Amino acid sequence: MADVHTRAQRSYNMSRIRSKDTRPEMIVRSLVHQMGFRFRLHRKDLPGKPDLVLPRHQKVIFVHGCFWHMHRCRYGRVTPKTNAQFWQDKREGNVARDRRHRRQLRADGWDVLTIWECWTKDPEALVIPRLEAFLGC
């Protein structure tokens, strides 16, 4: 069969793939919202463009993919079979950048929390307690 997607549909699909509105991030947003906090998204003027920013509380939250940011979990330890060195360098670059951004944010008076993608598979046990501790509720 020929290409069944219209151009509009295809570009919509691509935009979804590239989108920052990943599922783990949506889960975290909805939890923080349910806890009664207002936040801004991806503030470009802050180091690392944090996924959630709570300006009144001087707190930011990053939602990190385990693979890309090398979480110490089974997803983060995956080594691609092809172009292994390329991916390793890229991911290590991400980790170094993350560390730099966290340091800059803390130096500017922000509290920083990182939520890992794998935690969002079990929000009750792994995300909610951390958010509550971080947000002080």
Closest distance between Zn ion and the C-beta of residue 65, in Å?
A: 8
Interacting residues toward Zn ion by CB under 5 A: 66, 71, 73, 75, 116, 118
- Nearest Cα to Cα of residue 118 among 61, 60, 71, 62: 71
- Closer residue to Zn ion in complex, CB, 59/64: 64
- Closer residue to Zn ion in complex, CB, 59/120: 120
The tokens for 2 are: 């020929």
Alpha-carbon span 77 to 58, nearest angstrom? 32
- Closer residue to Zn ion in complex, CB, 48/65: 65
Closest distance between Zn ion and the C-beta of residue 56, in Å?
A: 30
Closest distance between Zn ion and the C-beta of residue 71, in Å?
A: 3
- Closer residue to Zn ion in complex, CB, 24/47: 24
Burial (CB count <10 Å: 0-12, 13-18, 19+), residue 24: buried
Closest distance between Zn ion and the C-beta of residue 119, in Å?
A: 7
Query: Distance from CA of residue 7 to its chain's centroid?
Result: 29
Q: Which residues on adjacent β-strands are paired with residue 41?
A: 52
